[in-house]
Amino acid sequence: MVERPIGPVAVFGASNFPLAFSTAGGDTAAALAAGCPVVVKGHSAHPGTGEIVAEAVLAAIEKTGMPKGVFSLVQGGDRHVGAAVVQHPRIKAVGFTGSLGGGRALFDLCAQRPEPIPFFGELGSVNPMFLMPEAMKTRAEELGAGWAGSLTMGAGQFCTNPGISVVLDGADADRYTAAAKAALEATDPQTMLTDGIAKAYRDGKERFETRNSVRPVYTTPSEGRVANPNLYETTGDNYLQDHALGEEVFGPLGLIVRVGSVEEMVTLAKGFEGQLTTTIHMDAGDMADAAKLTPILERKAGRVLVNGFPTGVEVVDSMVHGGPYPASTNFGATSVGTMSIRRFVRPVSYQNFPKELLPEDLQ
């Protein structure tokens, strides 16, 4: 048995990663590593960058004598362009990073083809963090400031941005909130990558402003492409009753959920949809409580962390950047790390083959 390339792969450029996840980004690298030709559908947010990178790839193809058809870039912001790419009979799989709405539409097209093909979509996440009582007792301020730093990194334009903190209500929660607020106040205004991302961020903030279920802790207006941070808080009861509070706001917007007990944390955890990451902050004294959360959190996410912030995603063998729907459309896959190649290969069994006819890597 050997893994063989599955055929031409369509890769969709991501608005938030013009380099790491677009023309020559992770999906393209994984598909090429698997031995598959790549057709990139460039993102309309950065057509020029896409073009420059594509020219570099084409120059490399020429220099190394690779077949020219191994890479192409298709430009065009219209939805029909993307639809035509994923519906082409020669395309055998799709790699995508983007919004739930756009991703689900393409996923549906892939599933409805006469010959259905896999759609590997990474569709975002609120990346909840659970702050355990002993850790909060000893370092609520440090955790609050750390969260604010992770939340505002890259103007909050990371899929792994931790948008929600779940804490036990009380004095430690107050210290955490105050520290996060202070750190956000000290954050310089940041510029978002596109007008579309900036508008979606303002719309997301509007969603929070207009509901009684949340209390503003720190809010600042954002205009044009500038993104200022925003912080809200709510109770566990309100959170469970208002499904929209669990939807991703792409940008530096944080929500603190105050609960009455670790048991309520567990209830809240059970209610979360699929996530890219979930995080526990804990001290040694929190072990028994953390053990109640872990079996739930690992079912909800592709990566679970202890005492860290999820924003950074390392390209390593053990990385899983994916998770149950809607974090991704394919919970067995990762779009970052060595395992991302696995999406674009299929096993073939060679029975009783003479050595000369086997693929080179089997010989």
Residues labelled catalytic:
122, 159
Q: Is 174 helix (H, G, I), strand (E, B) or coil?
A: helix
Could you give the CA distance from residue 252 to residue 163 in angstroms, rounded to a whole number?
8
Under the binding rule (CB under 8 A), the answer on residue 35 touching a copy of itself is no
- Nearest CA-CA partner of 255 in 264, 263, 265, 246: 246
Contact letters for a copy of itself, residues 255-274 (x by CB under 8 A): -------------------x
Identify the residue among 68, 79, 243, 346 touching a copy of itself (CB under 8 A). 346
Under the binding rule (CB under 8 A), the answer on residue 304 touching a copy of itself is yes
Under the binding rule (CB under 8 A), the answer on residue 16 touching a copy of itself is no
- Contacts of a copy of itself in 114-143 (CB under 8 A): 115-116, 118
Query: In degrees, to the nearest 5, what angle opens at C-alpha 90 toward C-alphas 85 and 96?
Result: 40
Q: Would you give the DSSP letter of residue 89?
A: T
Q: How far is the CB of 188 from a copy of itself (least distance, A)?
A: 29
Identify the residue among 144, 319, 335, 341 touching a copy of itself (CB under 8 A). 319
SS (H, E, C) 128-180: CEEECHHHHHHHHHHHHHHHHHHHHHHHHCCCCCCCEEEEECCHHHHHHHHHH
Neighbours of 102 (CB within 10 A): 16
Residue type, 299: R
Under the binding rule (CB under 8 A), the answer on residue 46 touching a copy of itself is no
Under the binding rule (CB under 8 A), the answer on residue 363 touching a copy of itself is no
The tokens describing 240, both together, are 């469970």
Beta pairing partners, 216? 232
Residue whose structure tokens are 């990346």: 127
Could you give the CA distance from residue 95 to residue 116 in angstroms, rounded to a whole number?
15
Tell me whether residue 188 or residue 317 sits nearer to a copy of itself (CB atom): 317
Tell me whether residue 39 or residue 304 sits nearer to a copy of itself (CB atom): 304
Q: How far is the CB of 287 from a copy of itself (least distance, A)?
A: 6
The site for a copy of itself (CB under 8 A) is made up of 1, 4, 6-7, 107-108, 111-112, 115-116, 118, 274, 287, 290-291, 294, 298-299, 301-308, 317-320, 324-326, 329-332, 334, 339, 345-354, 356-357, 359
